[in-house]
Amino acid sequence: MKSLKKAGLIKTQPRMLILDIFEAQEKKHLSTNDIYMALQRNKTPLSLGTIYRVVNQFEKSGLIQSHHFSPDNAVYELCAADNHDHMIDIRTGKIVEFHDEIIEKRQKEIAEEYGLDLVDHKFILYGYFN
Amino acid sequence: MKSLKKAGLIKTQPRMLILDIFEAQEKKHLSTNDIYMALQRNKTPLSLGTIYRVVNQFEKSGLIQSHHFSPDNAVYELCAADNHDHMIDIRTGKIVEFHDEIIEKRQKEIAEEYGLDLVDHKFILYGYFN
DNA sequence: TTGGTTGCAAATCGTTTGCATCCCG
DNA sequence: CGGGATGCAAACGATTTGCAACCAA
């Protein structure tokens, strides 16, 4: 369970509600609209404005991480200890996470070769799951 | 030199102008606004609406390829024979292309392992160039 | 009390689109 | 001539933001 206090954020009701959504959801990658609708279902609605603000604060605090798998909208997931990459089914939108040491290692070597001080990376595979 | 006819597109003045911009530019990755301004400089202005339409047609025809390196806006580049990946300087926006066989090979293996029929991929390294 | 937080609605900004006009074949 | 292409301005949709009311410490 993540801590708002540890993240340097006042413990408010909206922030707790949103954090709960992330921890309760079977789906790990949520759009602001997913969060909005989940809160509606829970009878604890919040405004979209607040959801956007909270999600941005969470990201700055390192609680969650954003992804732009589609140019249309961002999705967010709780930060995990392992840094994993993603593969996405173009038809269904299904997201599968994976971690690969060969890729991790190789990207560091490439960055080194090119004199790039590596800060972040994005590795996404798109296709169709059998 | 790319061919509009071969791409199944009528050879119109706006489309030729835009294709010329891509082929003349030292910078390979252009936003719609980059194109817009380059056309202004060339005294052959086009409306942004047309630029967006042409760029989308070019992409569907396989003449150019779009990238969303930043969530803010797309950039486009002529399709090259080699499929390369990108590293980006977070500070300057400088883009460097690279091709790596180990990555290419490994991503196919990973897709196979997970039963993903690989269609496309995105591999971007973000950091600071020395 | 008081400064940070929220709701609401308006503003932003990249991108798309409807429509009348124009141009390529 | 006829259908696709273009310019213009309006529409769109995700995200941000100004402001007044509200809540946590």
Say how many C-beta atoms besides its own lie within 10 A of residue A46's C-beta. 18
- Same-domain check for residues B60 and B105: no
- Same-domain check for residues A31 and A71: yes
**What residues have CB less than 8 Å from A64, skipping those under 6 apart?**
A22, A55, A58, A76, A77, A78, A79
Interatomic separation, CA of residue B71 and C1' of nucleotide D9, rounded (Å): 26
- Same-domain check for residues A55 and A111: no
- Same-domain check for residues B60 and B90: no
CATH of the domain at A93: 3.30.1490.190
- Same-domain check for residues A99 and A65: no
Say how many C-beta atoms besides its own lie within 10 A of residue A55's C-beta. 21
Tell me whether residue A3 is in a domain: no
Tell me whether residue B36 is in a domain: yes
Number of domains in chain B: 2
Beta strands across the sheet bearing A85-89:
A95-98, A85-89, A116-129, B116-129, B85-89, B95-98
- Same-domain check for residues B103 and B57: no
Mean per-residue pLDDT, B62-81:
95
- Same-domain check for residues B58 and B108: no
- Same-domain check for residues B116 and B70: no
Mean per-residue pLDDT, B86-109:
96
- Same-domain check for residues B19 and B70: yes
Q: Which of A67, A70, A76, A87 to mutate to test the interface with B (most CBs of B within 10 A)?
A: A87
Nearest to A105 by CA among A121, A91, A93: A121
List, as own/partner pairs, every contact residues A88-94 make where C-beta atoms lie below 8 angstroms and the sequence separation is at least 24, other chains included. Answer: A88/A124, A88/A125, A88/A126, A88/A127, A89/A127, A89/A128, A89/A129, A89/B116, A90/A126, A90/A127, A90/A128, A90/B119, A91/A128, A92/A129, A94/A129
**pLDDT tens digits, one per residue of A61-102:** 999 999 999 999 999 999 988 889 999 999 999 999 999 999
**pLDDT tens digits, one per residue of A1-32:** 577 888 889 999 999 999 999 999 889 999 99
- Rg over CA atoms, chain B: 17
- Same-domain check for residues A67 and A91: no
Q: Does B86 have pLDDT greater than 80?
A: yes
The last residue of a domain, from among A59, A78, A97: A78
Contacts of A59 in chain B (CB under 8 A): none
- Cβ of B129 and A114 within 8 Å? yes
**pLDDT tens digits, one per residue of B12-43:** 999 999 999 999 988 999 999 999 999 999 99
B 44-63 → A contacts, CB under 8 A: none
Domain hosting residue B18, numbered range: 13-78
A10: three-class secondary structure by DSSP = coil
CATH of the domain at A49: 1.10.10.10
Token pair in block for residue B59: 């992409």
